[in-house]
Amino acid sequence: MKYLLEFEYDQSKPDETIKLNMDYMKEMEKYPGNYYKYLYPPQYTSNGKGFSIVEITDTQQLINAQVFLERGFKMKFTPISDMGEQIVSYMSLKK
């Protein structure tokens, strides 16, 4: 399933945040199946906030990412659904 990932980090600790993120990227390369896949890479918006779009095929991928990154990031995952699939589902419920 696809998710909008919104994140926030402490701007007073940029060196720690960068190191944590770099370590996470190395971990993702080393064990790609253990973590979500980026469909749209992390983008910075402002004031220590940003977003990306990720694909999660197993709940353990979400748990692994949260455990690894919670030391430096607040994260919010919002499911993204295909509008066409939503319409088909809605129409089938009306029958």
Q: From edge to edge, which strands make up the β-sheet containing 2-9?
A: 37-46, 49-55, 2-9, 73-80
Query: Terminal CA-to-CA distance of the chain, rounded, Å?
Result: 27
* Domains of the chain from N-terminus onward: 2-93 (3.30.70.1060)
Express each pLDDT in 49-59 by its tens digit: 999 999 999 99
Which segments of the chain have a pLDDT < 50? none
Distance CA 77, CA 17 (A): 19
pLDDT of residue 59: 94
pTM of the model: 0.84
Structure tokens at 69: 């990154």
pLDDT of residue 94: 78
| Cβ proximity of 41 and 52 under 8 Å | yes
Residues in the chain: 95
Torsion, Cα 15 25 64 76, to 10 degrees, reads 70
